[in-house]
Amino acid sequence: MKVTEVKISKLENGGKAKAFASVTFDGAFVITGLRVMEGANGLFVAMPSQKREDKYVDTAFPVTKEFRTELQDAVLAEFNK
């Protein structure tokens, strides 16, 4: 699966969340609700999640470290444009 499109909606609220993102894979599958976040070590991409009982659980996520890196790099590149 390859990332074929990334859409960014930047937030101007001044909090840790900097933007929302949606990512299209192979021009055929979209995941929405990713967030560009400011962390202690810089920007990172948080996966879509839902609150279940007393914690948040990711609802979509990469299975491999390599794909997580590819996805994060694509989202952050579009964010930084």
Please give the Cα distance from 51 to 38 (Å, whole number): 21
Establish if 72 belongs to a structural domain: no
Taking only the tens place, the pLDDT of each residue in 2-53 is 999 999 999 988 799 999 999 999 999 999 999 999 999 999 999 999 999 9
Buried b (16+ CB within 10 A) or exposed e, 33-43: ebbbeeeeeee
16 domain-assigned:
yes
Q: Where are the alpha helices (DSSP H) in the chain?
A: 65-79
Is residue 55 domain-resident? yes
First vs last C-alpha separation in the chain: 23
Q: Which domain holds residue 28?
A: 3-64
Has residue 23 been placed in a domain?
A: yes
**Looking at residue 13, what is its pLDDT?**
84
* pLDDT score for 60: 94
Q: What is the CATH number of the domain that holds 21?
A: 3.30.1120.40
Q: What pLDDT band is residue 1 in, cutting at 50, 70 and 90?
A: confident
pLDDT of residue 76: 98
